Structure 1
Amino acid sequence: MEVTTSSVGILLVHGLGGTQYDLGMMGKILKRAGMDTHTLTLPGHAGQPEDLLGVTAEDWVEEVRAKYRELLPQYDTLHVMGMCMGALLAIEVVKQERHTKGRLIALAPPLYLDGWSTPWYRFLRYFVYRFMPNTTRTMKVEEEEPFGVKNELVRSIIKAKFARGDNFHYQWIPLYCVQQVDRLRKWVKEGLNNISCPTLLVHAREDELTSLRSSEFLLKEIGAQHAKLVVLENSYHMICVDNDRDQVAACVLEHLGCDPALVRPRKRRSDVVESEE
């Protein structure tokens, strides 16, 4: 495919157990800014939680890497953005590919699973991985309130969607998947000084899944000359649909050299939990 003059594309990567819902209205806002948005469905997603069994961290990385390589020759500029586990995948692929043709945005990257709602016994999972490996396939990690959302209205909408069985996010994942994320987290921590593209990290101070320590570590290792951290004060983990969602969108637009004023107030409150596509 021929490259269009001054063309700009952006690859959006969703999180574990999720869909493009994880990114809220970001896709529409980026399209409004004149970018071509591209999404993908990670292996094991958009079906049933059982589909995740047997999918490895390598599978997720290679899927994002393949999509990145498909898009790269099509654009003058290609940005990469991910949310939650998608942020880790975006970082890892940008690092492996030595990406310099665009910018990186990592939203709520869970480099450490140490948020305020994570149970004190979370470290016992490593015992299960080593001594009870078959249990990782049968043990379920349930989605529970607050569902990563501080906004009570949005939380109630999410709860209703789960009750209806809407296919926007898995209601549980096998512990096996957390083990794969743990493997991914280890990879991401290594070689971060190889990232030289401008990088935006956005993290909520009250993130219940992963503390601010995650983004602070990334900022330090990537280096302040390449990375910037924006801290949100009124959200939990799902920052693209929570109270600070407009601030997130404005920060992303500014990072990408676009007008932050393109972020418009929502006409319908339920828009914040609708899919991009």
Structure 2
Amino acid sequence: MTDYPVIPGAEPFFSAGNDTGCLVIHGYTGSPQSVRYLGEYLAEKGGFTVSVPRLPGHGTAPEDMARTTAEDWLQCVRTALAELNERCTSIFVVGLSMGGTLSLHLAATQQDIVHGVVTINTPLFINNPQFAALAFAPDAPPFLPGVGADIKNPDANEISYNGAPSATTRQLFVLIATAREMLPLITCPVLAFRSREDHVVPPSNGPYLIDHVSSADKRLITLEDSFHVATLDNDRERIARETLQFIRSRQRTEKQTYTTIAD
């Protein structure tokens, strides 16, 4: 089996800090680079223990990703969560795009560990019939056009694949569908960001998420100056600042009752 080197800049990130842990997860065909600014901000400004893993098959080559499954991606973030749980008393999970979908899986299935979840342009549905048709198409090409690098800021760049392996599209759809069905199991505090203009994930995913989780404490923030990869875009500082505030205010008050806010 071929071993593919990690693209420079796409390496995972870990910073040991205090007893509040933050698991930050990148998206489909992306790499830790897309959320590294957010992870470093939480480590520096919050003093948190921050883990930014590299999902299997990501940050290397599309051919490498073609060999992976949703189960591989889930196992990766479960392992990272367990490692944080060994050293932290409260843990928050943060995810961009499919990383947010993975975060919701953890929040639904690891309720005793996840104290809060933050999602950024996270898909629970894609509304792309042509893309869905390729998931089980026998004549689908090996690789499809990439879905990354949807960024408004012309000076920002994402390390992502130009093409997505067709074999992983069905994995993505299964992951999304199961997360959507499990939303009522989520009771921890939720902060969701959605870009008003997103060319990958319909912005209506944000309100849908807020409407279907069982959390009493949930907030939706609309980003006005970023596209899909908002963690690298013009609103990246706001995302980092709001996420830091969200975590700080809930580190030791996760049993408190909160009011739902949407803007």
Structure 1 runs not aligned, ≥5 long? 115-121, 162-167, 259-277
Question: In structure 2, which of residues 120, 123, 143 is the aligned counterpart of residue 110 of structure 1?
Answer: 123
Q: Which amino acid aligns with 2:49?
A: D
Match in the other structure for 1:192: 183
Note if 1:246 corresponds to 2:250: no
> Which residue of the partner structure matches residue 26 of structure 2?
14
* C-alpha displacement of 1:229: 0.7
Match status 1:228 vs 2:219: yes
Structure 1 position 203 matched with structure 2 position 194: yes
Of the candidates 77, 81, 84, which is equivalent to residue 71 of structure 1? Answer: 84
Structure (1 or 2) with the larger CA radius of gyration: 1
Q: Tell me, yes or no, if the aligned pair for 1:141 and 1:175 is still in contact at 8 Å.
A: no
TM-score (norm 2): 0.81
The AA in structure 2 aligned to 1:178 is: T
The Cα shift of 1:70 comes to 2.3
Contact persistence 1:48–1:170 (CA under 8 A): yes
Cα distance in 1 for residues equivalent to 2:76 and 2:224: 33
Query: d(CA) in 2 for partners of 1:234 and 1:195?
Result: 29
Asked whether 1:173 is paired with 2:177, we answer: no
Percent identity (aligned): 25
Match of 1:255 among 213, 231, 246: 246
Counterparts of 2:134 and 2:237 in 1: how far apart (Å)? 40
Q: CA deviation at 1:28?
A: 1.7
* 1:53-87 Cα deviation digits (max 9, x unpaired): 13111111122112212221311111111111111
Match of 1:123 in 2: 129
Distance 1:250 1:59, change over 3 A: same
With CA pairs under 8 Å and 6+ residues apart, which has the higher RCO, 1 or 2? Answer: 1
**Which SS does the other structure have where 1:110 is aligned?**
coil
Tell me how large the CA RMSD over aligned residues is.
2.2
SS in 1 for 2:155: helix
**In structure 2, how many angstroms separate the alpha carbons of the residues matched to 1:190 and 1:235?**
28
Where has structure 1 moved over 4 Å in runs of 4 or more?
Answer: none
Aligned match of 1:87: 100
1:135 pairs, out of 137, 140, 146, with 140
Q: CA deviation at 1:130?
A: 3.5
Q: Which residue of 2 aligns with 1:214?
A: 205
Q: Return the TM-score normalized by structure 1.
A: 0.77
2:51 aligns to what SS in structure 1? strand
Change (3 A) 1:221 1:169: same
Contact 1:49 1:170 in 2 (8 A): yes
Aligned residue in 1 for 2:10? none
* Greater per-residue helix proportion: 1
Equivalent residue for 1:148, pick from 147, 150, 169: 150
Mapped partners of 1:213, 1:143: distance in 2:
18
8 A Cα contact 1:24 1:241, kept in partner? no
SS of 1:200 mapped into structure 2:
strand
**Corresponding residue for residue 50 of structure 2:** 37
Contact 2:26 / 2:96 at 8 angstroms: preserved in 1?
yes
Distance 1:206 1:77, change over 3 A: same
- Residue 24 of structure 1 deviates from its aligned partner by 4.5
> Distance in 2 between the 1:218 and 1:105 partners?
11
Measured after TM superposition, the shift of residue 43 of structure 1 is 1.1
How far 1:253 moved relative to its partner? Answer: 1.2
Distance 1:213 1:34, change over 3 A: same
Name the SS for the 1:78 alignment partner: strand
Q: Is the 8 A contact 1:19 1:41 kept in 2?
A: yes
